[in-house]
Amino acid sequence: MAREDDRAREEFTSEAEELLDTLSRDLADFESQGANVRPELVNKIFREVHSLKGLAGMLGFTEISELSHSLEDMLDRLRMGRVAISKDLVDLLYDSVDSLNRLVIAINDPSLSGLVDMTGLTRRIHQIVTNQPQQKHGDAFSELTLDEQTRKSLTEYEEHRLLENVRAGKHILSLEVTFDFSDFDERLRTITANLSEAGEVISTLPAIPTGNINGIAFRLLYGSTLDVDAVAVLAPEANVSSLRKTAPATPTPAPVTPAPEVEEEMSLRSLSQTVRVDIAKLDHVMNIVGELIIEKTQLEALTRAIAMQQARMASHELGKISRNLDRKLNELQKSVIEIRMVPVGQIYSKLSRTVRKVARELNKEIELILRGEDTELDKMMVEELTDPLMHIIRNALDHGIEPADERKAAGKNPVGRVTLTAYQQGNSVVLDVTDDGRGINPEKIRRVAVERGLIGEKDTVDLARAYELMFTPGFSTAAAVSEISGRGVGLDVVKKNIQDLKGSIDVITHLGEGTTFRVSLPITLAIIQALIVEAGGDKFAIPLTSVEESLRIYSRDIRTVERREVFTLRDFTLPLLRLADAFGLEDHHDHGPDTKWFVVVTRAGEKTIGILVNALVRQQEVVIKSIGERLKTIPGIAGATEIGESEIVLVVDVGSLIDHFGGRAREVRAAVLS
């Protein structure tokens, strides 16, 4: 019984999170439409809250059910025009979704339920419901030639929508259509979608077919800025007539928008085809695939060994088996990775709620622009990415975006803008968080760093050094500690979290114009393509997502600038890092001017470095396995992998290698030896 309860709780949590994410996106649309919110959107929000109430009530989650019920009652009054759209209403809806989200999380972590002020929310809902707008008097039906039978057939909501369209000065039209029984549902849906692009289908009523036509007839009541002739072109199969006794005085053209009813139906279909899978089960399948890849690697090694022993027939057959296994494993791996992939848009709704809340606390007006919602990333990475992104956006709102009066003085729009853009770049996903604020001032960074004892009074700070200082533990430019900043938990935590995901973070800024925080991540962490290299007598795996190119050079091509080794690559001075020096390995390589080296040109975000190795062994798929706590603290190590014949090699973390050593590996090695 306990197992069934746990399963029901997990299923409810998953369903509720989806509903709340959808609700958050719909609230953003609701707010953007201002006072003229499309009735279809209000209905959709109402249904989502109603669904959450029903699910919570069925499973006995009383607080979620009661809060949803109060919201449902308020939204029903909003649909009927008995509650006015206001800033207080929008704020209340956002706060309620935040509270519902906390209550859902509290199902597994009861300590969070105490953070929800149920009494305060209920009081605010009651205030909005009781402060009803003045009802408009006058019989709007007197302006229509609407028979009594039709009027009695309308529901209370349809009657309300009809009156709203009359009062808005729109054309009120009747469309009579007759369809064959075989496809009437599809054709009715199509004509409704077409009409919804330029108006509102208020009601769809049954009618009697005219003439001797064998079929089913409907009468549609329609409100629009278009007149009879224009609607007749839009719906040529309908008999269109006006229900107004006189033409509306000043019709206002409405923007053409996609039909929400069709979009909603499509989204429901796609939801019904979705199968929820516990991420732990996917991890298990991915582990199996990883073990199979290791077996495949060993099979390839055995094939090469047999080939060297001149057993051609056996080698040929084994090679064929190995190639078939390789092809099938690639298909299986691709399928499992695709199953794990989710759109980053899943976290956009959470971020938009945070932006709105923080902007309200800071008393700043912020426009949040979200792009690239369909860009896909591994599910586990999306979950781990939420907190770093929230921190970056909070930082942009608090430190980046200036107060409204300061923006006006600088000739800027008083409304600040934060843009989150996700896009794929090669085998990586990049997320840019861009603000149009004041930018980063290196001199200010220098002053704060001096005050905190991070650098000396006479040290100079350029942009590159300023970026390094910003990511130093405990660094903050906040003048005072608040709920949002100045608590000593800063960008260093963000950087560590992103590096744990094998990603990198960079800063691009223009003083007075704004700043971009660029986060680059591998698409998935499970199985990667890697370049196997040899340095100091040991082998290492460098992820191909970090490799730009590789080339062979001679010792005489290496120059030393300010005690750091560099190489000129197509007019670009490339800093070099000897892998053997970084890991303190004995290098028995000949060091004459004609000694051959291999340079693996790697990139982590905006930083590029050439890793100097003795040999390039091969390229192959590797399965990254976690390593012990002691080795995790060593910079430049991402994990370990087996590359065949029970040979274990370390996987290089290019990002942390560059951050820790830069081009100073030999300098650090020399200091240690001395």
Confidence of residue 450 (pLDDT cuts 50, 70, 90): confident
- Binned at pLDDT 50, 70 and 90, residue 263 comes out as very low
pLDDT in tens, 533-550: 998 888 899 988 888 899
Question: Is pLDDT above 50 for 164?
Answer: yes
- Give the residue with greater pLDDT, 481 vs 87: 87
What does the pLDDT read at residue 269? Answer: 28
Inform me whether the pLDDT recorded for 488 exceeds 50: no
3-state secondary structure of 221: strand
Q: Which residues of 131-166 are buried (b: 16+ CB within 10 A; e: fewer)?
A: eeeeeeeeebeebbebeeebeeebeebebbbbbbbb
The pLDDT of residue 266 is above 50: no
> Residue 280: is its pLDDT beyond 60?
yes
The tokens for 150 are: 């039709």
C-alpha span between 495 and 171 (Å, rounded)? 58
Tokens for 243?
Answer: 């229900």
Q: Which residue, 334, 660, 663, 384, is CA-closest to 527?
A: 334
For residues 288-313, give the mean pLDDT. 73
pLDDT higher than 80, residue 201: yes
Q: Which residues contact 382 (CB under 8 A, 6 or more apart)?
A: 342, 344, 346, 347
Predicted confidence (pLDDT) per residue in 558-573, tens digit: 888 877 888 888 888 8
Share of the chain above pLDDT 90, in %: 5
Whether residue 314 has pLDDT greater than 50 = yes
Inter-residue contact 336 to 282 (CB < 8 Å):
yes
Q: Identify the band that residue 600 occupies on the pLDDT scale cut at 50, 70 and 90.
A: very high
Return the pLDDT at 419: 93
- Is the pLDDT at 599 greater than 90? The verdict is yes
One-character DSSP codes across 266-331? HHHHHHHT-----HHHHHHHHHHHHHHHHHHHHHHHHHHHHHHTT-HHHHHHHHHHHHHHHHHHHH
CATH of the domain spanning 140-245 = 3.30.70
Q: Is 239 exposed, middle or buried (0-12, 13-18, 19+ CB in 10 A)?
A: middle
Residue 271 has pLDDT above 70, yes or no: no
* pLDDT surpassing 80 at residue 520: yes
> Percent of the chain, pLDDT > 70?
84
Distance CA(539)–CA(533), nearest Å, equals 6
pLDDT of residue 517: 92
> What is the third-level CATH fold of 527-673?
OB fold (Dihydrolipoamide Acetyltransferase, E2P) (2.40.50)
Mean pLDDT score, 379-395: 85
Question: Rounded to 5 degrees, what are φ and ψ at 561?
Answer: -125, 120
Three-state SS letters, 73-121: HHHHHHHCCCCCCCHHHHHHHHHHHHHHHHHHHCCCCHHHHHHCCHHHH
Does pLDDT of 189 surpass 60? yes
Going by pLDDT thresholds of 50, 70 and 90, the confidence category of residue 134 is: low
Mean pLDDT (whole number) for 272-283:
59
Residue 433's pLDDT is what?
92
3-state secondary structure of 433: strand
Cα separations (Å) of 221 from 214, 259, 327, 410, 576? 23, 17, 59, 52, 74
Q: Is the pLDDT of residue 491 over 60?
A: yes
pLDDT tier at 421, thresholds 50, 70, 90 = very high
Q: How high is the pLDDT of residue 377?
A: 83
Mean pLDDT of the chain: 79
Buried b (16+ CB within 10 A) or exposed e, 62-100: eebbebbbbbbebbbebbebebebeeebeebbbbbbbbb
Structure tokens at 491: 């960008």
How far is it, in rounded angstroms, from Cα 32 to Cα 26? 10
Give the DSSP letter of residue 635: T
Q: What is the location of CATH 3.30.565.10 in the chain? A: 343-522
Give the CA angle between residues 341, 391, 337 to the nearest 5°. 10
**Using N-to-C axis directions, what is the helix angle for 379-395 and 348-362, rounded to 10°?**
20
The residue with greater pLDDT, 226 or 293, is: 226
Closest by CA to 548, choosing from 654, 412, 458, 673, is 654
CB 602 within 8 A of CB 576: no
Radius of gyration of the chain (CA): 32
What pLDDT does 256 receive?
A: 40
Q: If pLDDT is split at 50, 70 and 90, which confidence band does 213 have? A: low
Cβ–Cβ < 8 Å for 176, 216: no
CB-CB neighbours of 335 under 10 Å = 12
Q: Which residue has the higher pLDDT, 416 or 159?
A: 416
Average the pLDDT over 319-323 and give the result: 76
Per-residue pLDDT averaged across 551-562, rounded? 87
User: Strands 637-642 and 199-207: what pairing?
Assistant: unpaired
- Across 49-63, 613-627, 653-667, least confident range: 653-667
Task: List, by residue range, all CATH 2.40.50.180 domains of the chain.
Answer: 527-673
Specify the higher pLDDT residue, 282 or 496.
496
Tell me the mean pLDDT in the region 248-264: 43
pLDDT band at 286 (very low <50, low <70, confident <90, very high): confident
- Tell me the average pLDDT across 83-95: 86
**Which of 36-50, 109-123, 439-453 has the least mean pLDDT?**
109-123
d(C-alpha 389, C-alpha 498), whole Å: 10
Contact, 637 vs 542, CB < 8 A? no
Q: What's the CATH number for 2-130?
A: 1.20.120.160
- The listed CATH number (1.10.3720.10, 3.30.565.10, 3.40.50.11540, 2.60.40.420) that belongs to domain 343-522: 3.30.565.10
| Calpha distance 209→76 (Å, rounded) | 35
Q: Residue 373: CA atoms inside 13 Å, Cβ hemisphere, count?
A: 12
Q: Give which of 536, 644, 548, 623 is closest to 585, Cα–Cα.
A: 536
CA distance 165 to 174: 13
Question: Is the confidence at residue 181, as pLDDT, over 70?
Answer: yes
d(CA 533, CA 610): 13
The terminus-to-terminus CA distance of the chain in angstroms comes to 68
Rounded CA-CA distance 350/239 in Å is 47
Residues of the chain with CATH 1.20.120.160: 2-130
Residue 504 φ then ψ, to 5°: -140, 160
Q: 432 falls in which pLDDT band (50, 70, 90)? A: very high
pLDDT band at 530 (very low <50, low <70, confident <90, very high): confident
